[in-house]
Structures are given as structure tokens and as C-alpha cells.
Chain A
């Protein structure tokens, strides 16, 4: 079939014509020339716009938190003392109050909350890993035609409401909830097992909510693994279990780290799960911050709590970025 060339109009042509009309527009040209004079080009706009937004709405807020964490509480709005005081003769005094941080160190409530948060997050991360690794491994070793379906099934809970999924566990764990009703109906127990409002419920909640975050990086890592390595191991006389332990597992360590950090770091500061599923003694730092802020109206202490939490997490955050940068660099194209 001999088709000659038809001069077709591709959609981008319309946009291109619009752009050229804009470019010919007087005031636009004046403005763009002025920008060029100032050395501001298209590149600057591309970087500048998101950069400006982030500096204004991400970076500066942190500086404000830092500043408030070292100021005093005060009644009224805003409920903190200003940091700088103008005194007579235009002398500026800086009133920095580290009392709030000292308070954190001394009061056992906060110490316990921090330690409890880290402990809870760590245990939950481990459990999540134990459950998530076989899932990721199983999906990676399924035939490709099923893989997409299974991945979609893993992702589907992620796209439905986080809040509602945690709520679902209330209905399962409570004293006349699904588990207790089933066990009592089967005659296995007489009294309901108390599961809600315990640390156990918090672990389940975290594992459940963050499971996709563990499975996906692990899957990405395992899927890329070269299966001929396992074939070579078998050829050299290595059994499947040993091959897994000595080849697959070590190679999947970057995925393990990525998944674990993606679960651990947000879990430390979790609020919703301890609030809905945890009890009064499973106090986590996210809840503490919330309560300091909304109930006690003590903004400086809440800020100090936040900064301390951040300092705690800086290590894991940087580790995660380091691992991800290494993975990203290894996959780059080379000339």
C-alpha cells in the first residue's frame, strides 16, 4: 500500500502557534528582555519557582519552629514570646530559652515517649519486613503476566484511605470485634482477649498501614536480580536454601534498607495509629506533640518536641538518601 505523505496537523502545532503569538506580544517581549538583562533565563524560572515555594513553605517554617522552641510561652495569640526585644536606644536583646529542651530531658514522660516511639517503630519495622519480604519475593518470582495484577493488589490498599484502614482494625480487635466473636463462637475462649488499646494493636496498625512501603522497594530490588546467578550457584552444587541465604539475601540488602527506612522514619512520628488503636501507656511522641499543642496550648514545648524528634531522625533520613543515591547512580546511562 503506497501512501504518500499527508500533511497532518499534530496537536502540538496549536500550542506552538499560541506560544509564537505570545512571544510577539509587546509587553511580553519587554518583560522577557528585562529578565534577560538581569541574567534570569528560562532555566532560572524552572528551578526558581518550585525552589521559592519550598523555601517559603518548607524551610522557613522549620526555622520558625526552631525559633519558637527556644522562646517562652505566653497567654494570648500568638502564644509565645517574641525572640527579639527592642529596648530603649535601639538595642536588641536576644532572649533564648533552652528551658524547653531541658524540660524534655528531665521529664520522664518525654524520655519514655521518645524511647517508646523508637522501640515501637523498630519492632513494627521488623515485623513488617518479616511479612513483606516473602510477599515481595513471591511477586518477583511469579510469571510476568501475573505480576502486574499482584502489584496492583498490593497498591490498592495504599490508594484507599489510610484513616479508614486503621479504623477497620478497631472493628476487628475490639472486645466484641471480629476476632473475639469468632473465637468465642468456636468455643476456643470464654472471655474476650483484650487486643485494642494495647501496644500489640499499635504494631499491627503500623505493619498494616506501611506494608506497601516495605513491599515495593523490596520488589523493585528483587525483580532486578539476575536469575542466572542462582543458576550458576546450582551448577556449582549449592542447594536452594543456601543459595537464597548467600546470594539473594545479600543482594537484596539495599531494598531491605530502603523499605525499612520508609517504614521506620514515619512510624516514629505516627499519630493516628496510636491515637485510635493504642492505649494510655503506649504513648508515642507524635501523640505527645499533638497533645502539647492542642490540649496544653504550649507551643514552645511542642516545637522543642518536634526539633528533638527531627534530630533523632536525621541519621536514618540521611542513610536512606545515601542508599537511594547509590542505587540511582548505578542505574544511570553512560556515554
Chain B
């Protein structure tokens, strides 16, 4: 009985989950509301979805966000993996504390500060070097990579810290040079973490509002910017439709991933059991 949940805890937990999901569910329900007054139910309708797909502004913004998010995720993963590897495998190097600070600060720094500082940088650079010329896709991408690489670094660092160093040492002992060890041994083993980092960076970029507002320019409206300008004026049913689509996609993705991981786990369990049974 020790360590089981009490009734009180279970109730509180259920309340917590309800709190988390009622807003999401309400958005989904209202997306099918006939009435333009989103919260006054007037009948079932899918017309807002139709309107959504005809809204060019939103569609273009979504495409732009997708592009930026993909480039950002790839860049963040490359830089974040290198940084995570450096921080977890190289004990002492000059400037290590500074690097640790720089890779963890973006995680907690309020976005207004990072957004402001990056914009000021871009303005100063344009003033002095002529590049980047105006704010747009390039500046947005650079800004996104800068803050999402911090998240990737944390993910990779934590994965590497649980990775047995003797695997890499064994590879070196058998004659492989450090770079080879990284590519042939380390990377394949931490690949799931790299994938998780990519997805995390993608989501952060796709969803970012504040930093993007600072560093974007005319003609580079990402999806969050468009959504924000709409919802400042109040509720809007096509936004509900958009929200429903996004939630559904994410839910499918997460459950698919979870399901896949469960299956892997079960298979491993079976293999280990088989090995123990046929013990020699």
C-alpha cells in the first residue's frame, strides 16, 4: 500500500488534467459552431474549415513557418549536438563556463529580451556591414536557431551523460580515431535524442511569436504573427478550426511515437528474457 495513490491525490490529478484539456476541447468544439459568435452555440457546421483553407494569408503564413521551422530545426540540431557533445565530453576548456551560461540562458530568458537584443544586432550589422539587408526570413531563421539550439544542447547533453563512456573508449582502444568514433558509435546510439531535439526545435520555431515579431520585416509574416494580429481583436472561428487541425496532428504524432516506442520496449524485453532463459 505504500506508494499507491490516495483518493485525494487521484482527484487532484484528475482536476489538473481536466484543467489542461478543457480549453483545448472547448476550442475544438467551438470550431464546429455555425455561429460567428464563437461561444454562442448555433448548430453544427464545418464552414470555418472551408473558410480557413481559402484564407490565403493564413496558408502562406503557414508555408513560411514550415520552411523556417525546418531549416531552423536542422541548423539547431547540428549546432546543438556539437555543443552538447563538447559540454558533456570535454572536461575542461577555455571559456567553458561562458559556454554553459550561453547555452542555458535562452531556456529561461524572457523572450522580449532575446528578441530585442537580436533586432538591435541586426540593425547594427546592417548599419556597419550592409548585411543582413532588412529583416526577413534570414533574420528570423538566425534568431530561431540561436534560441532553439539551447534546447537541443540540453537534450543531447542529458542523453550523452547517460551514455556509457566506455563504449567510446572501447572503440578508440580498437583503433578508431575520435571523429570516427563519433560518427560510427555515438551518433547511431543517440539518434533518438537527436530526432527528439529536431522535433523540439521545429515546434519552438513554428510556434514562436515574440522573438519573430522583433526580427521579422514586411512580407515575412509567420503563422503566429498572423494569428496574433487576428486574436488581439477577439475570438475568431477560423482560428478555432486551425487550432483543431494542429491539435489533431500533434496528438496523432505523439501517440504514434509513443506507440512505436512501446513496441520497441516490448521487443527488447522479450529478447532479454529469451537470453536469460537460454542462459549459459
A and B touch in their complex, CB below 8 angstroms: yes
Chain A residues whose C-beta falls within 8 Å of the C-beta of B209 in the assembled complex: 162-163, 272
Partner of A275, one of B143, B232, B235: B232
User: CA of A171 to CA of B155 in the docked complex: distance in angstroms?
Assistant: 35
Chain A residues whose C-beta falls within 8 Å of the C-beta of B247 in the assembled complex: 160
Q: Does A123 contact B (CB under 8 A)?
A: no
Q: How far is the CB of A110 from chain B (nearest CB, A)?
A: 14
- Contact-size category for B: 35 or more
User: CA of A106 to CA of B247 in the docked complex: distance in angstroms?
Assistant: 46
User: CA of A209 to CA of B35 in the docked complex: distance in angstroms?
Assistant: 28
Q: Which of A85-93, A94-102, A175-183 contacts the other chain? A: A175-183
User: CA of A123 to CA of B235 in the docked complex: distance in angstroms?
Assistant: 27
Q: Are B13 and A139 in contact (CB under 8 A)?
A: yes
Partner of B85, one of A46, A138, A208: A46
Q: Does B264 contact A (CB under 8 A)?
A: no
Chain B residues whose C-beta falls within 8 Å of the C-beta of A168 in the assembled complex: 23-24, 26-27, 243
Partner of B17, one of A12, A65, A135, A262: A135
Known contacts A51-B95, A59-B102; decide if A68 and B250 are in contact (CB<8 Å).
no
Q: How far is the CB of A140 from chain B (nearest CB, A)?
A: 9
User: CA of A295 to CA of B43 in the docked complex: distance in angstroms?
Assistant: 41
Interface centre among B19, B86, B118 (most CB of A within 10 A): B86
Q: Are B146 and A58 in contact (CB under 8 A)?
A: yes
What secondary structure prevails in chain B residues at the interface with A? Answer: helix
Q: Are B149 and A50 in contact (CB under 8 A)?
A: yes
What secondary structure prevails in chain A residues at the interface with B? Answer: helix
Q: Does A149 contact B (CB under 8 A)?
A: yes
Known contacts A134-B16, A181-B40, A299-B120; decide if A306 and B113 are in contact (CB<8 Å).
yes
Nearest B residue (CB) for A264:
B108
Q: Which of B50-58, B175-183, B269-277 contacts the other chain? A: B175-183
Chain A residues whose C-beta falls within 8 Å of the C-beta of B106 in the assembled complex: 58
Q: Are B82 and A161 in contact (CB under 8 A)?
A: no
Partner of B79, one of A53, A131, A276: A53
Q: Does A27 contact B (CB under 8 A)?
A: no
Q: How far is the CB of A104 from chain B (nearest CB, A)?
A: 15
Partner of B102, one of A58, A77, A234, A317: A58
Partner of B227, one of A163, A234, A268, A303: A163
Chain A residues whose C-beta falls within 8 Å of the C-beta of B145 in the assembled complex: 53, 57
Q: How far is the CB of B79 from chain A (nearest CB, A)?
A: 5
Partner of A164, one of B103, B112, B227: B227
Q: Does A73 contact B (CB under 8 A)?
A: no
Q: Are B258 and A149 in contact (CB under 8 A)?
A: yes
Q: How far is the CB of A276 from chain B (nearest CB, A)?
A: 7
Name the interface residues of B28-67: CB closer than 8 Å to any CB of A. 30, 37-40
Known contacts A15-B183, A276-B231; decide if A157 and B24 are in contact (CB<8 Å).
yes
Known contacts A64-B117, A135-B13, A234-B2; decide if A47 and B227 are in contact (CB<8 Å).
no
Chain A residues whose C-beta falls within 8 Å of the C-beta of B85 in the assembled complex: 46
Q: Are A65 and B120 in contact (CB under 8 A)?
A: yes
Chain B residues whose C-beta falls within 8 Å of the C-beta of A211 in the assembled complex: 16, 19-20
Partner of B86, one of A15, A47, A149, A289: A47
Q: Does B3 contact A (CB under 8 A)?
A: yes
Q: Does B174 contact A (CB under 8 A)?
A: no
Chain B residues whose C-beta falls within 8 Å of the C-beta of A172 in the assembled complex: 22-23, 26
Chain A residues whose C-beta falls within 8 Å of the C-beta of B142 in the assembled complex: 57
Chain B residues whose C-beta falls within 8 Å of the C-beta of A50 in the assembled complex: 79-80, 82-83, 86, 99, 103, 149, 153
Q: Are B112 and A271 in contact (CB under 8 A)?
A: yes
Chain A residues whose C-beta falls within 8 Å of the C-beta of B195 in the assembled complex: none
User: CA of A46 to CA of B153 in the docked complex: distance in angstroms?
Assistant: 13
Q: Are B9 and A164 in contact (CB under 8 A)?
A: no
Partner of A240, one of B6, B116, B146, B251: B6
Q: Does A84 contact B (CB under 8 A)?
A: no
Q: Are B116 and A293 in contact (CB under 8 A)?
A: yes
Q: Does B127 contact A (CB under 8 A)?
A: yes
Q: Does A39 contact B (CB under 8 A)?
A: no
Q: How far is the CB of A20 from chain B (nearest CB, A)?
A: 10
Interface centre among B37, B108, B146, B251 (most CB of A within 10 A): B108
Chain A residues whose C-beta falls within 8 Å of the C-beta of B17 in the assembled complex: 135, 153-154
Partner of A332, one of B10, B86, B100, B161: B161
A284-319 interface mask toward B, CB cutoff 8 Å, 1 = contact, 0 = none? 001001100100000100110010011001000100
Q: How far is the CB of A195 from chain B (nearest CB, A)?
A: 13
Q: Does A137 contact B (CB under 8 A)?
A: yes
Known contacts A46-B82, A303-B120; decide if A271 and B224 are in contact (CB<8 Å).
no
Q: Are A171 and B27 in contact (CB under 8 A)?
A: yes
Q: How far is the CB of B265 from chain A (nearest CB, A)?
A: 9
Name the interface residues of A252-284: CB closer than 8 Å to any CB of B. 261-262, 265-266, 268-272, 275-276
Nearest B residue (CB) for A154:
B20
Q: How far is the CB of B267 from chain A (nearest CB, A)?
A: 16
Q: Are B210 and A61 in contact (CB under 8 A)?
A: no
A and B contact pairs by CB, cutoff 8 A, 14 listed: A47-B86, A53-B149, A58-B114, A64-B117, A141-B4, A152-B255, A167-B231, A171-B240, A176-B40, A227-B3, A240-B6, A269-B112, A320-B108, A331-B161
Extra A-B contacts (19), CB below 8 Å, given A134-B12, A141-B3, A208-B19: A15-B183, A47-B93, A54-B83, A55-B102, A131-B19, A148-B262, A153-B20, A160-B24, A161-B227, A162-B207, A168-B243, A266-B110, A269-B110, A286-B112, A293-B116, A306-B116, A309-B112, A317-B105, A320-B108
9 A-B pairs with the lowest CB-CB distances in the bound complex, closest first: A269-B110, A138-B13, A61-B117, A134-B12, A168-B23, A50-B83, A135-B16, A61-B121, A265-B108
